[in-house]
Amino acid sequence: MFEITSFEAGRRLRGSVLLAIALVALIALTVGLFPSIQETGADFDAYLESLPPEARRAFVGNVTTLTTIEGYLVSQLYQFGWVLLLAIYYAYAAAGTVAGEVERGTVGLTLSLPVSRTRVVVGKYLSLVPGLLVVNAITFLAVYLGVALVGESIDVVDLLAVHVVSIPYLLACAGVGLLASVAFDATRRAQTAGAGAVFGLFLLDTFTFDTDYEWLGDVAFSRYFDPGAILVDGEISAADLSVLLVAVVVLVVASSEYFERRDLSG
User: Is residue 266 in a domain?
Assistant: no
- For the chain, the distance separating the N- and C-terminal CA atoms, rounded to the nearest angstrom, is 25
In this structure, is residue 40 part of a structural domain?
yes
Domain count, the chain: 1
Alpha helices in the chain (DSSP H): 2-32, 34-39, 41-50, 53-59, 69-73, 87-95, 97-104, 107-111, 117-126, 128-149, 156-183, 187-208, 227-231, 238-261
Q: What is the pTM of this model?
A: 0.92
130 within domain boundaries: yes
Q: Are 112 and 256 a contacting pair, CB within 8 Å?
A: no
SS3 state at 234: coil
Q: pLDDT by residue (tens digit) across 221-266?
A: 999 999 989 998 889 999 999 999 999 999 999 999 999 888 776 5
For 70-113, what is each residue's pLDDT tens digit? 888 998 899 889 999 999 999 999 999 998 888 887 877 777 77
* CA atoms within 13 A of residue 246's CA, in its CB half-sphere: 8
| Closest CA relative to residue 126, chosen from 161, 175, 169 | 175
Nearest Cα neighbor of 177 from 85, 98, 116, 72 is 98
Confirm whether 140 is domain-assigned. yes
Note down the domain range covering 244.
2-261
Q: Is residue 115 part of a domain?
A: yes
Report the C-alpha gap between 74 and 228 in whole angstroms: 6
Closest CA to 259 of 42, 19, 97: 97
Has residue 229 been placed in a domain?
A: yes
